[in-house]
Structure 1
Amino acid sequence: MRAAAMFDRGQRQVDVVTELGVSAQTASRWYRAWAGGGRPALAGTGRAGRLPRLSDKQIAEVAVALKKGPKDNGFSTDMWTLARVVEVIEQVTGVRYSITQTWAILRERLGWSSQRPARRAVERDDEAIDKWARTEWPRIKKAPGAGEP
Structure 2
Amino acid sequence: MTPAGRQRRESVRLQAAELFEQKIKPAEVARRLRVSRKSAYQWHQMWRDGGGRALASRGPSGSRCRLSPLCLEKLAAYLEQGPAAHGWVEDQVWTAARVATLIGRKFHVSYSVSGTTRLMHRLGFSPQVPARRVAERDEQAVKAWKEATWSEVKEPGRPAGATSASRTRQASPAGRPEDAPGADAAAPR
- Scaled by the length of structure 2, the TM-score of the pair is 0.54
Between stretches 87-96 and 6-15, larger displacement belongs to: 6-15
Give aligned pairs, total: 139
TM-score by length of 1: 0.65
Match of 1:147 in 2: none
Provide the aligned C-alpha RMSD in A. Answer: 3.6
Give the drift of 1:62.
0.9
Alignment of 1:8 onto 2:18: yes
Q: SS state of the match for residue 154, structure 2?
A: helix
Pick closer, same or farther for the CA change 1:30–1:81 going to 2, 3 Å. Answer: closer
Work out the CA distance in 2 between the residues paired with 1:81 and 1:29. Answer: 42
Structure with higher Rg: it is: 2
Alpha carbons 2:27, 2:41 under 8 Å: kept: no
Identical positions, percent: 29
Q: Residue type of the partner of 1:73?
A: H
What does residue range 55-134 of structure 1 map to in structure 2 within 5 Å? 55-77=68-90, 78-107=92-121, 109-115=122-128, 123-125=138-140, 129=143, 131-134=144-147
- Residue segments in structure 1 that go unaligned for 5+ positions in a row: 145-149
In structure 2, the CA distance between the partners of 1:41 and 1:100, relative to structure 1 (3 Å rule), is: closer
SS of 1:66's partner is: helix
Change (3 A) 1:64 1:15: farther
Give the gaps of 5 or more residues in structure 2. Answer: 1-10, 158-189
| Residue pair 2:29, 2:40 contacting (<8 A) in 1 also | yes
Alignment of 1:36-51 (within 5 A): 38-51=51-64
Alpha-carbon contact 1:66-1:88 (below 8 Å) kept: no
CA deviation profile, 1:4-30 (whole Å, cap 9, x unmatched): 3245365652244344433x2431232
